[in-house]
Structure 1
Amino acid sequence: MFVILLFAGLKKKRIVGALLFAFIVTGILVYVMKSVFSAPRPNLYFQEISFAYHHFVAGVSLYNSGSFPSGHTATAFAMATVLTLFSRKQKRTFLFFLAALLVGYSRIYLAQHFLLDVIVGMMLGALIGMFSFYMIVNKKFNIRFNRNFHKRQNAILRS
């Protein structure tokens, strides 16, 4: 959200639109996938197979379900992809994806996700980022409401 607010302050409407769209679509899609797959997180998985894993980071709350896919990684890659597609400088591209990779790495390091969760999150985020860029650049969201819209809608619903 910080990145979106930053570009909103700079009055970059197309970038803000693409980032916001990517953020929302990623959140919805990841939520649905987590509900469908309901995969255990590393903490619960290791308990279930009676494997004594002692490398958890102190002070980190460990969750038990909703591992697949990694939502943080998907969101980070969606944002990095959108910013890369709008950017004209290759050096920035490297930084965007380095930051996204570090997000993915942190999810594994903190024992919140498995490698597969992060890889799928990376692919999902990149695809959503490209889709968001396409939708905004090609003006697929050029929806305009006029004053009479609600009157016509109510008339249609009554009949």
Structure 2
Amino acid sequence: MGITKVIVRHEDFDVSREMEELRKGSGSAGAMVAFTGVVRNRNQGDDIFALTLEHYPGMTESAITAIADKARARWELDDIVVIHRVGRLEVGDQIVLCLVTSAHRGEAFEACEYIMDWLKTEAPFWKKEETPSGSRWVDARESDEKAKARWQ
């Protein structure tokens, strides 16, 4: 069984460095899939200037680790890395990195998508957007719940 690395922090991450660390440490992996989420400039038809993410330290990491464990039970995976940022982020800033390694690409792609679908609905993060009309909290989206439901 490979590593599971879950980090929640304010600081940015270096995708290339994280990928290189996994590549060096995983001789059995034939596939590495990466997803990087970034702050976009529009949501629900409105312009967005920035996004603030809040969380419960400890609880958030445990929830993400549990999601990774479920992915590992479902697919034959080597390593899983999830780095999620919190605090105030501006348009174009990286929010989340999900890296999955496996012997085969199909499992790595599916597991990465599974982790992201579950993270969007199950990890305890709260998002507040800054718009031209002021700040607003982001409600859970039905599309995120549907994405998660397809894995059940």
Q: TM-score, normalised by structure 1?
A: 0.35
| Higher radius of gyration, 1 or 2 | 1
Higher RCO, Cα 8 Å, sep 6+: 2
TM-score (norm 2): 0.36
